[in-house]
Structure 1
Amino acid sequence: MAYKHSYEEYNGEKMARALGYALPVSRKQSIEICSSLRNKPLVRAKAILNDAISMRKAIPFRRFTSSISHKKGMGPGKYPINAATEILKLVENAEANAKFKGLNASNLIIKHMCAQHGGNVWKAGRFRRRKMKRTHIEIVVTEGKAKKESKKKEKKEVANK
């Protein structure tokens, strides 16, 4: 069955997307990562994922928090290394797709990012079957506006002159 994209306001000229189909990662961890990276600049999202992979900073868990300990500087959080690695590959893929379309890679913002339940696949060779984890992840990036300097800095520069 064909995958139906969940983001309906996709504009092919101003946006780029990447799709990970049936990735072998936890759906719950993917949902938490997606909710923490949504509407963030692409550079910052890559830094957050690299910090989670190297176990420097945890991903905050807001929805699936049962039996999760708190981490320093936040509430409940985890280091989802496998899911973060797969999502980092997708983020880099979306960045490459945006560069191919001619978008400015330094101003990219993650407009839409969602994780959905994948197909049911059973592990073989067991008397009692076990399900494999499968997740579909969709990322849509768009070119944001370049950040302007704050008004406070401009006032200080005017005052110093």
Structure 2
Amino acid sequence: MGWKKSEMDRRSKRKDLPQKGYTQLLQGSRLATARVKEADVHVKHCFEIARAIKHQTAGEAITFLNNVLKIDSDRPDIRKKAAAVPFRLGSGNKKRKRSGPSMVGHRKGGIGPGRYPVKASRIMIRLLESCMENARHQYEDIDPEEMVITHCAAHRGTIKRGFTPRARGRASPKNHYRVNLELFLEDFSGVEDELEDDF
């Protein structure tokens, strides 16, 4: 791709008020969108995956997430080929024992701290496939796998309250923090053809 990240950001989102349902304005040529509401996965895992796959094509992102899922295999030779998701968010304060990047093991490939969020990767693959299917219904002359991820976000959803009974009539909270995901795919192939015609 010959496009800069700032150019792709400028074409599909603005700093104005968001539309209902999405946190970004649905602005861009040949745009396909998809959402997942109230997914029962860790918001931090989804945030790190969204940061890792942004500005990739849909095909590249699905290939990357399938490589992350290799860590769940029973065969050791396949597990060795698993790709890690870089984990950047967190305080990394060892004295307070927070699970920041410094508390996460460094992975192969020079990515630094990383993990293998299997459950969140499966949700993201389903979201990508849904967005690609929406693109196939909207536009018949484009390849959804070549569309670029211009916006991918994970936001905290509602909290599913629960508790674990303890001794002497006490109870400990056991809450599920849900997450809302959104994804924009945009096709830049027509714009590249226009630029080639200008030169």
Q: Post-superposition shift, 1:51?
A: 0.5
Per the alignment, residue 85 of structure 2 pairs with 59
2:115 pairs with 1:89 = no
Higher relative contact order (CA closer than 8 Å, sequence separation 6+) = 1
Q: Post-superposition shift, 1:70?
A: 0.3
- State the SS of the aligned residue for 1:28: helix
Aligned AA (2:87)? F
2:23 pairs with 1:6 = yes
Q: Post-superposition shift, 1:145?
A: 2.2
- Runs ≥4 in structure 1, deviation > 4 angstroms? none
**TM-score using structure 1 length:** 0.82
Pick from 145, 150, 156: which aligns with 2:189? 145
Superposed, 1:29-40 pairs within 5 Å as: 29-40=45-56
Per the alignment, residue 175 of structure 2 pairs with 131
Q: Distance in 1 between matches of 2:83 and 2:146?
A: 24
Aligned AA (2:160)? V
Per the alignment, residue 115 of structure 1 pairs with 154
Identity between Structure 1 and Structure 2 (%): 23
Q: CA 1:132–1:143 in structure 2 vs 1: closer, same or farther (change >3 Å)?
A: same
Q: Distance in 1 between matches of 2:176 and 2:148?
A: 32
How many residue pairs were aligned? Answer: 145
**TM-score using structure 2 length:** 0.67
Q: What are the Cα deviations for residues 71-123 of structure 1, in whole angstroms up to 9, with x where unaligned?
A: 01120000000000001100000000001101432421111000000101112
Aligned AA (2:107)? K
Per the alignment, residue 50 of structure 1 pairs with 66
- State the SS of the aligned residue for 1:120: strand
* Runs of 5+ consecutive residues of structure 2 not aligned to the other structure: 1-19, 72-81, 91-100, 166-170, 194-199
Output the aligned Cα RMSD. Answer: 2.0
* Runs of 5+ consecutive residues of structure 1 not aligned to the other structure: 149-161
- State the SS of the aligned residue for 1:118: strand
Q: Post-superposition shift, 1:66?
A: 4.4
